[in-house]
Structures are given as structure tokens and as C-alpha cells.
Amino acid sequence: QVQLEESGGGSVQAGDSLRLSCTAPGRILSSSVLAWFRQAPGKEREFVALLRWRGGSPLYADSVKGRFTISKDSPYAVYLEMNNVRAEDSAVYYCARGSQYSTSPLEYVDWGRGTQVTVAS
């Protein structure tokens, strides 16, 4: 299992923007799917966004569509741009890598340890 590493979390105000980063220890293969998930205390892990590493349109959860953007900087990094954040966006954010196009965390093999995002107003 390859360990990913997230960074960029912190405490922000509602309406603010921030950028989360996820780096791999080596080159991310073209066959990979990279995804962001989040998990708040006492809640299930929730899909946020995904991107086929070789290209194509990203996929977003309805709750973040129009506010968040997933992007990549080949061959090592994937990002999540978060705009107009809300209190309900507060969670630990995880990046993950798999080989299947899926919104289920069960389909992802490699994970980071997460980065905390706290939104307050």
C-alpha cells in the first residue's frame, strides 16, 4: 500500500477559500483514479470529488458542485480548491488512489492520513 499525504487544512471562516494538497511518494500512474473524501465525527465517509489521472471530466458530489474544484499537477500531486466554504464542510479530508472510477471508498486502495478543515463564522 502506497501512503499519500494531505496538507493545507486549517481553521477558516465561512465564505473563505482554501486549497488542499495531496502528494504521492512517487509518480502517480496514468491508470489511477484520484479522489477526495471527507469524514465528520460520527458520520460516514463521504465522497467529494474524483479525477481520472489520464484525463477526462472530474466528478463532484452535489454538496460541493460549483464550489470545489479538483485538479492535478502531474506526476505527484492532486489538489482540492475549496471556495465559499460552509460550516457543513468541516471534516477530515482524505485523498485516495484506486484503479476504478467509483464514488465508494471501498474501491480505493491507497489513502492519506487526512487533513482537518474547520469552518466557523
Cα 61 from Cα 98, distance rounded (Å): 18
pLDDT tens by residue, 63-106: 999 999 999 998 889 999 999 999 999 999 999 999 999 999 99
Query: What is the reported pLDDT for 27?
Result: 87
As separate numbers, helices (DSSP H) first and strands (DSSP E) second, the chain gives 0, 11
